[in-house]
Amino acid sequence: MNLTISGHHLEVTPALREYVLTKLDRVTRHFDQVVDVTVLLTVEKLKEKERRQKAEVTLRVKGRDIFVEQAHEDLYAAIDQLMDKLDRQVVRHKDKVQDHHHATAKRLEANAG
């Protein structure tokens, strides 16, 4: 799995990187077919004293790209909410990918006889 963590108008500190990695662990535990992960952390200056922290992630899995973004005044809270969203989308994708077609008892009897 390739992982890229970059910052826009902020420096990605080792603590921030570690925090993102710990949060990503939960997501990758649910789904092991992750090919590529790109995380972008941004600080947007809107007005003089108003700042908005934004976190976005693009998760490339086999057959699909999952993109999630979340903004909050606290970057760690934005990352938390982002990973929750991402987790839900990954689980939803995993459910779609899994084969839900089970052979019924009637079909099995027909094939056996």
Q: Where are the domains of the chain?
A: 2-112
What pLDDT is stored for residue 11 in this prediction? 92
What pLDDT is stored for residue 48 in this prediction? 63
What pLDDT is stored for residue 104 in this prediction? 60
**Residues 53, 75: Cα–Cα separation, whole Å:** 5
What pLDDT is stored for residue 17 in this prediction? 94
pTM, full prediction: 0.79
**Residues 63, 112: Cα–Cα separation, whole Å:** 36
Q: Which residues of the chain have pLDDT under 50?
A: none
Fold observed for domain 2-112: Double Stranded RNA Binding Domain (3.30.160)
**Residues 66, 95: Cα–Cα separation, whole Å:** 14
What pLDDT is stored for residue 40 in this prediction? 95
